[in-house]
Amino acid sequence: MQERSIYLDHHSTTPLDPRVLDAMMPYLTERFGNSASRTHAFGWEAEEGVEKARAQVASLIGANAKDIVWTSGATESDNLAIKGALQFYRDRGRHIVTVATEHKAVLDSCKAFARDGLADVTVLRPRPDGILDLAAVEAAITDKTVMVSVMHANNEIGVLQPLGELGALCRSKGVLLHSDAAQSAGKIAIDVEAMQVDLLSMSSHKMYGPKGVGALYVRSKNPRVRLTPQIDGGGHERGLRSGTLNVAGVVGMGAACVIAKVEMAAEGSRLLALRERLRARLFAELDQLRVNGDLDRRLPGSLNVSFACVEGESLMMGLRELAVSSGSACSSATLEPSYVLRAIGVGEELAHSSIRFGIGRFNSEEEIDYAGGRVIAEVRRLRALSPFYKSAAAVPAGEVRR
Ligand SMILES: Cc1ncc(COP(=O)(O)O)c(C=O)c1O
């Protein structure tokens, strides 16, 4: 049979939508100006592209265009939001509340400041379904808390945190709410006003735009959020992020946001149907599976499944024609179980034998069926070799589903 490669790793990155490339092309060729050049038409033309894109990004999240700051991606946006706020508000306090399942860009930004004695960090554990308990957030907030940082959608298990409720809580306590929306922006509706979010990180390459560009929403009123810049220089982006802009990149991100906004509802339904098709088939044909994270409150195209009694590395090796992610992460030459899965109580073994399926815009039903068939065949093959299979002891009671 012909070797196939099916891309089901859309949490990691997404392909560039050809319509986004079309929007970018002029800015990679004849419209090459520096958007900060104020003295000639080349600069004005580039600036026009940048400002149009700023409005397009803002429109996706219900923000004012002037509250969008361009960055190189969500990693930089997270760093600027967290370090920038902790530095600016250091006289108010240095306490930050976050969650164990956040992306490393958030956790390590907090850790770096804690290590230097610039922050006190409370890291909350989510419930076993991956969702954060609002009461735990409320209990963690003190009069020294500057910020709560909670992601919208998780990059490994896809669960959605209750941003609106968190926003209302943080506002009532007078603390800032930052949310890493790298995975949700463009896929789930976001309204920074209704949700009362003060800072929001986004990444273009997670929504069919180019890599190396992102944005940080920084609320300018009710309340006005101030940040200490982390990159100094020519004073671009209202002094918050110096550096010549990647004009074609930001134009691409703007175009990606327009497409996402228009197509979000239809695309969400299609991806949900594909995901449920895959899940139903896996559960119909295999036993001792576990879905990681709440099934209803999640990104439509996201599914993370643990396969008991299967050796994780062998499973990934056997599925090389599928581009999926495992529940293991490479760290200094060893395979560590995913800290996200561990934080929601998945055992080490089971974490290793987990697969994250990320279904996206260009996947077809045929691809999903092929992928499902391959996973089922491979799990069956490995279980036939496993001395543990049939004992049914590898999945804790209550978590075994057929
Ligand atoms: C939740 C989350 N935050 C931040 C990032 C980092 O984004 P970027 O690649 O744009 O720096 C990612 C990407 O993996 C992510 O999934």
The model's pLDDT over 141-190, given as tens digits with 9 standing for 90+, comes to 999 999 999 999 999 999 999 999 999 999 999 999 999 999 999 999 99
pLDDT of residue 387: 87
- Residue of 75, 157, 201 to mutate, ligand 1, most atoms within 8 A of C-beta: 75
pLDDT of residue 392: 55
Residue located nearest, by CA, to atom 15 of ligand 1: 182
Residue 399 lies in a domain: no
Ligand 1 centre from 2 Cα, in Å? 34
Same domain, 250 and 287: no
Model pLDDT for residues 68-77, shown as the tens digit of each residue: 999 999 999 9
Same domain, 29 and 124: yes
pLDDT of residue 151: 98
- Work out which ligand 1 atom sits closest to the CA atom of 203: 10
Model pLDDT for residues 208-220, shown as the tens digit of each residue: 999 999 999 999 9
Residue 390 lies in a domain: no
Residue 394 lies in a domain: no
Residue 396 lies in a domain: no
Ligand 1 centre from 278 Cα, in Å? 25
pLDDT of residue 329: 77
Residue 400 lies in a domain: no
Work out the pLDDT band at 117, boundaries 50, 70, 90: very high
pTM of the full predicted structure? 0.95
- Residue of 206, 250, 253 to mutate, ligand 1, most atoms within 8 A of C-beta: 206
Q: Single out the residue in 260, 295, 320 at which a domain terminates.
A: 260
Q: Which of 57-66, 265-274, 312-321 shows the lowest mean pLDDT across its residues?
A: 312-321
pLDDT of residue 18: 98
Identify the residue with better confidence: 402 or 57.
Answer: 57
Model pLDDT for residues 309-367, shown as the tens digit of each residue: 998 889 999 999 999 998 887 666 678 999 999 999 999 999 999 999 999 999 999 99
- Packing angle between helix 18-28 and helix 247-285, nearest 10 degrees? 160
Same domain, 201 and 269: no
Residue located nearest, by CA, to atom 12 of ligand 1: 182
Ligand 1 centre from 55 Cα, in Å? 22
User: How far is it, in rounded angstroms, from Cα 63 to Cα 349?
Assistant: 44
User: How far is it, in rounded angstroms, from Cα 132 to Cα 113?
Assistant: 23
pLDDT of residue 337: 93
Same domain, 183 and 326: no
| CATH code of residue 249 | 3.40.640.10
Looking at the predicted structure, is the pLDDT value of residue 397 above 70?
Answer: no
Residue 177 lies in a domain: yes
Q: What is the mean pLDDT of residues 265-277?
A: 98
Sign of CA dihedral 155, 158, 164, 169: negative
Ligand 1 centre from 106 Cα, in Å? 10
User: How far is it, in rounded angstroms, from Cα 108 to Cα 225?
Assistant: 22
- Work out which ligand 1 atom sits closest to the CA atom of 212: 10
Considering the chain, what is the average pLDDT of its residues?
95
Same domain, 102 and 78: yes
Same domain, 31 and 155: yes
- Beta strands 354-358; 325-326: pairing state: antiparallel
- Residue of 72, 77, 155, 213 to mutate, ligand 1, most atoms within 8 A of C-beta: 155
Same domain, 249 and 272: no
Looking at the predicted structure, is the pLDDT value of residue 402 above 70?
Answer: no
pLDDT of residue 7: 97
Model pLDDT for residues 363-393, shown as the tens digit of each residue: 999 999 999 999 999 999 999 998 889 855 5
Domains held by the chain: number: 2
Identify the residue with better confidence: 224 or 392.
Answer: 224
The residues assigned a catalytic role are 330
pLDDT of residue 401: 45
| CATH code of residue 332 | 3.90.1150.10
pLDDT of residue 332: 61
Same domain, 225 and 273: no
pLDDT of residue 327: 86
Ligand 1 centre from 320 Cα, in Å? 24
Q: What is the mean pLDDT of residues 106-122?
A: 97
User: How far is it, in rounded angstroms, from Cα 383 to Cα 307?
Assistant: 10
Ligand 1 centre from 108 Cα, in Å? 13
Looking at the predicted structure, is the pLDDT value of residue 120 above 50?
Answer: yes
pLDDT of residue 391: 55
Residue located nearest, by CA, to atom 4 of ligand 1: 74
Same domain, 204 and 347: no
- Work out which ligand 1 atom sits closest to the CA atom of 181: 1
Q: Which residues line ligand 1 (CB under 6 A)?
A: 73-75, 103, 105, 151, 155, 180, 182-183, 203, 214
Same domain, 212 and 294: no
Domain that holds residue 380: 6-12+264-385
